[in-house]
Structure 1
Amino acid sequence: MLLLMQGSAYLLGLGASVLVLDLCFLYLVAALAVRLLGSARSPGQAFNPQWLATIAVDVVAFSALQFLQGGNINYTPLFALPILLAAVLGTLPLAMGTAATVTLLLLTDAWWMSVAMPADTTPRFLQAALTGSGLFIVALLAHQLAVRLTREEALAQRHAAEARIQTRVNQLVIENLNDGVLVVDSQGRVRAANPAARHLVDGDLPARRTPTKLTDEGAWKPLAQLADMTFAQGSMPTTDVDLDFAGLPSVYLKVRTQLAAAGTEGTGNLCVMFLQDRRDVEARVREEKLAAMGRMSAAVAHEIRNPLAAVAQANALLEEDLDSPARHQLTRMIRHNTERLARIVDEILDVARVEHLNTGNGGTAVTLDEAIQVISADWIHQNPQAMRLDLRLTGGPIRARFDADHLRRVLINLLDNARRYAAHAEPIELSTVVGGVGHPELRVWSDGPPLEQAVRRHLFEPFFSSQSRSSGLGLYICRELCERHQAHITYDRTARKPFGQPTWGNEFCVRFEPADVHEHAAPTGARPSAPT
């Protein structure tokens, strides 16, 4: 702008000096050099040579223009530019120093003009003093405003960063919630839905789609009505909602709604729906009731144990003094039922013990075939009237990561279960194999009818049994003990060919973790002969 103004004055013959024209050209070159060669610097942090050099060039250039122009044009207002530059981008000492330098230059110019024209001395000094005072005030106020704006900007940036982090945290929390979260506006449009909500509303079938508006699908209308009631009343208690899709399985939900901003009116408010699968909620309630019942059962079993032992001992003493066969039959009935009660009490207490076990002893290993021979022999000895047992062991030193006492408990429960539900046409088959990736497996097979689907779903749950005379704890204890040692127990319907013709039966398979080389084998006390 200065070069254009001075060039126009020179071409129009208005008395512009060539020296002033050259000075404006040099000032343009200096400005371009700073623009091209200068680097971005944070303002107001510390002394900065780049800002100081820029301000110095401005002050020198404007002072030279004021001196060379000879009074035809007043360049004093241009001095506000370097002062504002120092106040906004530099430190307070730099701003005040620039204002002091400009004030001294103005006073020097007034003194020089007073030497040339002594008649106008007082007005020139007064004007220079007032201008200098104004420049000091401008420098101070501009710097204070710049510092405050810088502080507010830093605070805003920090709050924005915290808001972004909090927003991301909220998104992660909502996305990983097991409960569905659905955000709906007053027009029924879905503004947001986490994966759990999309799964609950859509289901797993591709025929369903994530809603963009709750009124687009007939099955979603109960949710739309619930949202309208929420906007009208402010919030709704937990409500059961059934989504009936044509030709597809229905979805049963528990829905709790709440407005995003309580008490806010207008279309800008949002309704937040919290969705839960009603079947999962009922399952959790059943688990809590089952856990409470288990604790109560354990306490009752502990209290029953001592009186039951006293009844059994008294019955044994009474049986010694009786001569009548009819009365002996009564005492046998008492002994049989007390033994049955004692087994139930032991099973209930076993459940309590299993729940307090650690996650398995990583340093204990058992030689599987030897342990199975000993346990099966003991089971045959304790159950002389039981059906035949067919052992099919690998014969090799298969070692599994399992506690020997816990293995005994698991195998005894599986053998008792096989004897109880077998058809007794074929012997119980007890075998060991090495499965995939070197995992040892124990399999207990017995003939018998297939289990109903409802029974299979609850097979390993506590207190579940298809017979009224069973406590329903045997398979649950097996599963808990297996989980403590990172083993897995499964049930399957398989066939065996003992005489060429396939015979279908029920098989329980326990898949063990292989024992590491550093683990030591637990003592099993194996006997050399295998039971048959």
Structure 2
Amino acid sequence: MWSRNILQDTRPPFSPTPEDLPFLRLWHGFLTGRVMVALALLLLQAIGQVFSQQVDPWMLAVPLAYLLATLLLRVFGCHAPPAPQAGPQWLPSIGVDLLAVGLLQWLHTGSMNFTALLGLPVLMGAVLGTLMLAWGTTAAATLLLLGWAWWQGQYSSGDSAPRYLQAALTGTGYFIVAFLVHQLSTRLVRESQAAQHNRRAAQMQRQVSTLVIENLNDGVLVVDQGNMVRMANPAALRLLCHVPDLLPPFSLLQEAAWQPLCLLAQRTFVQGLAQTADATLLSPGHSPVGLHVRCWLTPLHKATEDWEQRLCVMFLHDLRELEAHLRTEKLAAMGRMSAAVAHEIRNPLAAIVQANALLDEDLHDPAQKRLTQMVQQNAERLARIAEDVLDIARVQSQIAYTPAATLVLDEVAAQIWRDWQGHDPARRLAVLALQADNALVEFDAEHLRRVLVNLLDNALRYMSTAPDALQLLTHSNAARQVSVQVWSDGAPLDQSVERHLFEPFFSSESRSSGLGLYICRELCERHGASISYQRLQRPTAHGMIEGNAFTVNFRQAARKERTATVFNHQPVA
């Protein structure tokens, strides 16, 4: 940058930046000042020759040429000042000024002295150039003064010492002024650079803060003393989403449901202390929204103590999210404990099942038979729960040691589908669409079976009775991205449930262990795949229907091997 290079005495080609604008304005000011000085000299000489009735064409030609030179530079050189270091680039400005003043002083025969105009190029060099340029300009001006003193001594009688002394004092003054002005200019450069640096740092900090606030899961409201919301992030707007097209600034007083937030903000301003409270937003026709609200005041400016500028920052936490998070942590802790318990109860549970089976053989009373069946059903349920809990440890072991195989996705998906449907053909109806064009994927066959069966079981639990309410699809796009998707027309998931779908021990049902989708995610990540949930529309006999879609995106197969199928693969225990 040009202003920075005043300190370094070097500069790349000039390109104006915000920090160069003060110097660009000074450059324009000097150019305009030179035009005004040239115009004044021309008028002064013209009026002087009219009144004195002595025509000296050179005394008119020099100011006129000087005026033309200053006008040309003002028009064509105003976009950027010359490089600050000394060089020929300063000849159209400083060089022309020195030449014009020197010629006027030499040609003039009266008592008028033009040497005071030498201060203009001295100031220009000191402000816009380096110290070397300032001193060089001042030295040239001093030489002109001394030369004029010598010239006068040649054509006049008397002592020349006063004239030389006057020239020396004037030159010394120019040197002092040039040095001081250059120091002020250098300080201006440093201050400008510091201000620009601070401005960029503030802008960067503001961008980072805005990005963080915009992506917070918690709502953030910035409220002034008039209950006007100055800023609100998307999470906060979602909590107040029953108002269409809600964008700040808006007033918290416009909705009666926001009255608790108004009262909390006003209490924060009055007490001048941070506040924490639970609030419930009750809107007609909408479900109540429970919030945990924390309020802080922005710092008070000690210099001005401007209370009117203080703002209240409110953090809104959805109580449902907090409860879900706490529930997930508790379930995770309980899961670790239950894994150990499940391992210990397997043997007693097996003994109960065997004893119940032996007892059932000796009973003939239907009522007693029903009791043994109840014991068997609940024992089997306990066994399944224990197996699900222990599956976490098994999956981790399998993930560590099971190599991936190269599978033809369409073939394996079709075989898994046939096996799954064969257990209950009357109920397990679905649409099978194999569109992966026999693409290869790297995945363990038994792990893929486990993922798809789990997703199909979940879809069967929530779908409708329509024959095309369940769909299994494979797909391969032009970028060779291969995927398999299980879609069903079930009801949409609650947002709090959707965020924790793939977490262990998280379930929206009390009878589920909450491990199925977690195991699916772990198996997919082991093989470089990913699993995700979306709410998508699919064509059915009743038109486009929106439903729940679980999609597994595979990584591209890096090699071709002997195709592994579910028939030749040995499952890992």
State the SS of the aligned residue for 1:257: strand
Listed as ranges, the matches of 1:101-250 within 5 Å are 101-201=140-240, 203-204=241-242, 206=244, 212-250=250-288
How far off its partner does 1:12 sit?
2.1
Q: TM-score, normalised by structure 2?
A: 0.67
- Corresponding residue number in structure 2 for 1:504: none
Kindly report which structure 2 residues correspond to 1:320-469, keeping only aligned pairs within 5 A, or say none.
341-354=382-395, 357=399, 363-364=406-407, 365=409, 367-371=412-416, 403-406=444-447, 409=450, 435=473, 462=505
Q: CA deviation at 1:3?
A: 0.5
Q: Does 1:35 align with 2:35?
A: no
In structure 2, C-alpha distance between the alignment counterparts of 1:110 and 1:465, rounded to whole Å: 102
For 1:70 and 1:387, locate their aligned partners in 2 and report how far apart those are by CA, in whole Å.
Answer: 122
Decide whether the 8 Å contact of 1:230 with 1:271 is kept in 2.
yes
Q: Tell me the CA shift for residue 311 of structure 1.
A: 7.8
Q: Distance in 2 between matches of 1:207 and 1:102?
A: 70
**Alpha-carbon displacement from aligned partner over 1:428-477 (angstroms, at most 9, x marks no partner):** x9999764858877899xxxxx99x99xx89989586979xx66458657
1:50 and 2:89 equivalent? yes
- List runs of 5+ in structure 1 lacking aligned partners: 381-385, 445-449, 492-506, 527-532
Decide whether aligned partners of structure 1 residues 514 and 479 sit closer, same or farther in structure 2, where only a CA change above 3 A counts. closer
Contact 1:398 1:440 in 2 (8 A): no
Gaps of 5+ in 2: 1-39, 364-368, 477-482, 536-546, 569-573
Partner of residue 538, structure 2: none
TM-aligned CA deviation for residue 158 of structure 1: 2.8
- Separation (CA, whole Å) in 2 of partners of 1:464 and 1:341: 17
What is the SS of the residue equivalent to 1:77? helix
1:315/1:129 CA distance change after superposition, 3 Å: closer
Residue 256 in structure 1 maps to residue 294 in structure 2 = yes
Q: Could you tell me whether the CA contact under 8 Å between 1:430 and 1:443 is conserved in 2?
A: no
**Structure 1 residue 392, shift from structure 2 partner:** 9.3
**Cα distance between partner residues in 2 of 1:128 and 1:101:** 12
Give 1:28 deviation, angstroms. 0.8
Q: Distance in 2 between matches of 1:224 and 1:523?
A: 64
Distance 2:457 2:390 in 1: 18
1:301 corresponding residue in structure 2: 342
| 8 Å Cα contact 2:134/2:179 also seen in 1 | yes
Query: 1:267, CA displacement in angstroms?
Result: 1.3
Of stretches 433-442 and 277-286 in structure 1, the one that deviates more from structure 2 is: 433-442
Q: Distance in 1 between matches of 2:456 and 2:128?
A: 87
What secondary structure is seen at the aligned counterpart in 1 of 2:274? strand
Rounded Cα–Cα distance in structure 1 between residues aligned with 2:196 and 2:278: 45
Partner deviation per Cα, 1:80-113 (whole Å, 9 max, x = no partner): 1111111112222221122112212212221222
The secondary structure found in structure 2 opposite 1:522 is: coil
> Structure 1 stretch 76-85 or stretch 113-122: which is displaced more?
113-122
Please state whether the residue corresponding to 2:160 is helix, strand or coil: helix
Q: In 2, distance between residues paired with 1:13 and 1:223?
A: 86
The Cα of 1:261 is off from its aligned counterpart by 0.9
* Segment of structure 1 superposing worse, 115-124 or 21-30: 115-124
Secondary structure class of the residue paired with 1:118: coil
Given that 1:354 and 1:480 are in contact with CA atoms closer than 8 Å, whether structure 2 keeps it comes out as: no
User: Residue type of the partner of 2:47?
Assistant: S
Distance 1:210 1:393, change over 3 A: closer
Distance (Å, rounded) in 2 between the aligned partners of 1:136 and 1:418: 90
Q: Aligned AA for 1:367?
A: V
2:102 is aligned with what amino acid? S
The 1-side partners of 2:432 and 2:258 are apart by 59
Q: Work out the CA distance in 1 between the residues paired with 2:469 and 2:135.
A: 96
Counterparts of 1:113 and 1:236, CA distance in 2: 82
Q: Which amino acid aligns with 2:271?
A: Q
- What is aligned with 2:571? none
TM-score (norm 1): 0.72
| d(CA) in 2 for partners of 1:42, 1:178 | 52
Superposition deviation, residue 367 in structure 1: 2.6
Q: Do 2:221 and 2:233's aligned partners in 1 also have CA atoms closer than 8 Å?
A: yes
Cα distance change, pair 516–265 in 1 and its aligned pair in 2 (3 A) = closer
The one-character-per-residue Cα deviations of 1:165-215 (angstroms, maximum 9, x if unpaired) are 3323322222222222211112222222222222222x1453977662222
Question: Which residue pairs with 1:281 in the alignment?
Answer: 322
Alignment identity in percent? 39
1:376 and 1:100, CA in 2 relative to 1: closer, same or farther beyond 3 A? closer
Name the amino acid aligned to 2:178: A
